[in-house]
Chains A and B, each alone.
Chain A
């Protein structure tokens, strides 16, 4: 099955700086890579996703990059704000009929004012 590793487990940045979270996956057949944000006391919410036929995707201050050869993908948050503080999860979905996602272990991002 798929295995997703996520780094770092915790990340502190100053407000206005950029934050980068990295994930690697094991199954080269995986073709869909979402990122979820989980705020305290809430369930995870999708913030951005990318498919394997695309190398980069951007949505305002958030971007995701994918390197299929190296089997890794990254989340980039620019101009961080205090409300970006949360736990971020990467995930991968294998190609084929399976519909489940395999999640990384999460990154606690703290944006310091």
Chain B
């Protein structure tokens, strides 16, 4: 398996624009997580899905953020409108529903909002 695949790897946009980050989890994994990493706040969980259903979105900072998982092999994190303080590295991770609790992370998307 190619692992968790995120796109794009880098995104530069202007304040007010819509940004969509994409994630393809490892095939067969039941859980998908979206994290945000910044120097100030470290690694924060934004939202996670189980079997494509959002379970906990309490980490989503505000209504400008939304996430969807239309099927088991694809998820998006959307920011609309984007603001400079959204600049961060966004990670997607997935794991199986059984066995060891290992989360497999993608390489991340580095977002810069100017």
Contact = CB atoms under 8 A, between A and B. Distances in A.
A42 B50 CA distance: 24
B42 A32 contact: no
Interface residues of B, number: 21
A43 B33 CA distance: 13
Interface in B85-103: 91, 93, 95, 100-103
A20 interface: no
A101 B101 CA distance: 10
A41 to B, nearest CB: 7
Contacts of A32: 101
Interface string B1-36: 000100000000000000000000000000101000
Interface of B: 4, 31, 33, 42-43, 45, 48, 50, 55-56, 91, 93, 95, 100-103, 105-108
Given A46-B102, A99-B101, 17 more contacts: A32-B101, A34-B101, A34-B102, A34-B103, A36-B105, A42-B107, A42-B108, A43-B93, A44-B91, A49-B102, A89-B43, A93-B101, A99-B95, A100-B33, A100-B48, A103-B42, A105-B42
